């Protein structure tokens, strides 16, 4: 089950943890985000070597994260390892998300 990132500080800790993490930038009002969410949750159960997180772009406390990373479309998925972005996917593409997760798992 993905964990919600609720602050810029938490984002910093998560992305600099040394683990491979994938973050779903989402919004409750976004139909494509809601459509892909069950797949993101499913992959979080299947790929335990990757840590899964989500950021609700409408939460004020995470606006610094959204701005720093230049998130302009939802959903956006970003993969990090050691504080460096190593992968990204824009849009609700189930096969694309699966490929992104597989690539992330290979680097874990």
Domain with 12 in it: 3-106
- 30 is annotated as an active-site residue: yes
Identify whether 95 is a catalytic site residue: no
Within 10 Å of residue 72's Cβ, how many Cβ atoms?
10
Q: Which one of 30, 36, 97, 104 is the catalytic residue?
A: 30
pTM: 0.95
Rounded Cα distance between 80 and 13, Å, is: 12
Which band of pLDDT confidence, cut at 50, 70 and 90, is reported for residue 60?
confident
Containing H/E element for 27? none
The predicted pLDDT at position 80 comes to: 98
Residue 61 confidence (pLDDT) above 90: no
The sign one gets for the Cα dihedral 29, 80, 88, 44 is: negative
Mean pLDDT of 75-80: 98
Among 21, 22, 23, 33, which one carries the catalytic annotation? 33
Q: From 77, 61, 74, 76, select the one nearest 20 (Cα to Cα).
A: 77
The CATH number of residue 60's host domain is 3.40.30.10
Identify which has the larger pLDDT, 47 or 63: 47
Q: Which residue has the higher pLDDT, 59 or 105?
A: 105
Q: Within 13 Å, how many C-alpha atoms sit on residue 11's CB side?
A: 23
Q: Count how many domains the chain has.
A: 1
């Amino acid at each position: 089950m993905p964990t919600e990132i609720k602050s810029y500080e938490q984002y910093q800790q998560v992305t600099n943890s040394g683990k491979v993490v994938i973050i779903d930038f989402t919004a409750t009002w976004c139909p494509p985000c809601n459509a892909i969410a069950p797949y993101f949750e499913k992959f979080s159960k299947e790929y335990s070597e990757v840590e899964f997180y989500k950021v609700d772009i409408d939460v004020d406390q995470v606006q610094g994260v959204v701005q720093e990373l230049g998130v302009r479309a939802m959903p956006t998925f970003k993969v990090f390892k050691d504080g460096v972005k190593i992968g990204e996917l824009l849009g609700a593409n189930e096969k694309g998300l699966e490929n992104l997760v597989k690539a992330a798992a290979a680097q874990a």
